Structure 1
């Protein structure tokens, strides 16, 4: 065993996670194109559909995105009339993102996406759920 084995790509935890993430996002594209959503817009809408109204900072935290990444996503969703964004009257530093009626209508239309996505994976649902739970645990262990 070479002292350089630990820096081989094949020995890195990060690489299969990165590669899988990219491949999964590619699989979402044809499912989201009919709704004119990118993957990042879709996951943003997932949180907004769940909450209906959410503070921008909380949204960014839930998505593990910084404001520089999330801001253009929010602007695009707002331009698509799926959400509205406004500042808090008591504290104008606080920005709220809220679902519109058009955004609510889209929620019903995308209900098929998770099932169609699941069909892309070989193996049973139980293993996929176990993987998702394990990844959630790993993420939680890294949070400060």
Structure 2
């Protein structure tokens, strides 16, 4: 079987690595990077979100969310309050310092998005976003299917 030397996955990987590096450079003075900016914006957009809901929303494991939130908390951008009914659950909120950073993060994100999509018309941008959304949904569904089969791939054996 002949394999394609360059696939969509290669381009997605390159975009992800470059995006991470861009955010690391752009937010260096704020002592956060690509790993934390996503969580900062989610907490801003969903004030009071729990760690578990933040993990579910972004498709992250709890350890990744915990490390990101600890970093944001250590920098004075977020704080947690315990749930009144279940003290094991903590709700996340931005501090004044965190709220002051949000607009800058949106500006940094918007600049990067505009840079990546420069040269594309509006219709192309909309199709690209729709295609990426569909691919993301397919990836989630495929992972759920594989997990349900205990790692057995849902397709026929290519050798047989």
1:124 aligns with 2:123: no
3-state DSSP of counterpart to 2:115: coil
Distance 1:19 1:33, change over 3 A: same
Distance 1:46 1:125, change over 3 A: farther
1:22 aligns with 2:17: yes
3-state DSSP of counterpart to 1:120: helix
Whose Rg is larger? 2
Q: CA deviation at 1:69?
A: 1.1
Distance 1:69 1:125, change over 3 A: farther
Distance 1:84 1:125, change over 3 A: farther
Following the alignment from structure 1 to structure 2, what is the Cα–Cα distance between the partners of residues 111 and 139?
22
Long gaps (5+) in structure 2: 142-160
Structure 1 equivalent of residue 138 of structure 2: 141
Normalised to the residue count of structure 1, the TM-score between the two structures is 0.81
1:64-117: CA deviation from partner (whole Å, max 9, x where unpaired):
110111111111111111111233231123221111122111123334213321
Number of residue equivalences? 139
3-state DSSP of counterpart to 2:20: helix
Following the alignment from structure 1 to structure 2, what is the Cα–Cα distance between the partners of residues 125 and 45?
30
Normalised to the residue count of structure 2, the TM-score between the two structures is 0.74
Q: Pairwise CA RMSD of aligned residues?
A: 2.1
Structure 1 equivalent of residue 96 of structure 2: 101
Following the alignment from structure 1 to structure 2, what is the Cα–Cα distance between the partners of residues 18 and 107?
26
